[in-house]
């Protein structure tokens, strides 16, 4: 186990736990951004440079901003006297611990090929571009359509309802 992995993994896990447990929602969003950054460094360590940089651009850049906007638009809704956890939080925690234990047991007992010392497979941006325009051109078009539809749908859903005054706005 080497030091860069350990630092990034501990940072990612701690900021993820902070993101789900802090009281202030803005702090949660900032911790989530830190988690995304830690994940990007882990992608870089795994030899997937393009994915790591995409993670920074998309998740750290765009998704975090969208989350902060949503927090600002739904402000002043939290009641400070109220608990931020559900009534069944203990059971939920137990379920999560059980899921984690099951996954760890499954990982450690299953047969997987271990190539710990293997070098990272060479994958340049040029090759990714050729693949995207060749073998993966249909999924690329499908995801372009999906993104367009999703963004138009998001705008329509979040638009103000105009049922009181009948039209306008």
Partner 1 sequence: MTLETWLVFSAALFCVGLCGALIRRNAIIVLLSIELMLNAANLNFIIFWRYGVNADAASGVMMVIFSIGIAAAEAAVGLALVIAVYRHFKTVNLDRIDSMKG
Interacting positions 127-146 with partner 1 (CB under 8 A): 127-128, 131-132, 136, 139, 143, 146
Contacts of 168 (CB under 8 A, 6+ apart): 162
82 or 167: CB nearest partner 1: 82
> Minimum distance from CB of 168 to partner 1 (Å)?
17
> Minimum distance from CB of 60 to partner 1 (Å)?
11
Compute the distance between CA of residue 72 and CA of residue 111 in angstroms, rounded to an integer: 48
In the 3-class helix/strand/coil scheme, how is 123-146 assigned residue by residue? Answer: CCHHHHHHHHHCCCHHHHHHHHHH
Supply 76's token pair: 């002043």
Q: How far is CA 91 from CA 87, 94, 96, 103, 132, in A?
A: 9, 5, 9, 18, 45
35 makes contact with partner 1 (CB under 8 A): yes
Candidates 78, 133, 137, 141: give the one binding partner 1 (CB under 8 A). 78
122 or 166: CB nearest partner 1: 122
Q: List binders of partner 1 among 10-29 (CB under 8 A).
A: 12-13, 16-17, 19-21, 25, 28-29
Q: List binders of partner 1 among 105-124 (CB under 8 A).
A: 107-108, 112-116, 118, 120-121, 123
């Amino acid at each position: 186990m080497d030091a860069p992995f350990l630092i990034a993994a501990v940072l990612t896990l701690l900021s993820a736990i902070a993101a789900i447990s802090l009281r202030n929602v803005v702090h949660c969003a900032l911790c989530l951004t830190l988690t995304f950054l830690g994940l990007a460094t882990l992608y870089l360590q795994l030899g997937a440079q393009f994915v790591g940089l995409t993670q920074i651009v998309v998740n750290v850049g765009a998704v975090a901003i969208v989350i902060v906007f949503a927090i600002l638009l739904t402000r002043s809704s939290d009641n400070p006297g109220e608990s931020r956890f559900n009534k069944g939080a203990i059971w939920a925690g137990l379920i999560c611990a059980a899921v984690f234990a099951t996954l760890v047991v499954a990982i450690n007992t299953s047969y997987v090929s271990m190539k710990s010392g293997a070098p990272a497979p060479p994958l340049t941006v040029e090759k990714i571009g050729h693949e995207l325009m060749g073998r993966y051109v249909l999924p690329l078009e499908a995801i372009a359509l999906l993104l367009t539809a999703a963004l138009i749908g998001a705008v329509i859903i979040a638009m103000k309802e105009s049922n009181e005054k009948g039209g306008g706005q």
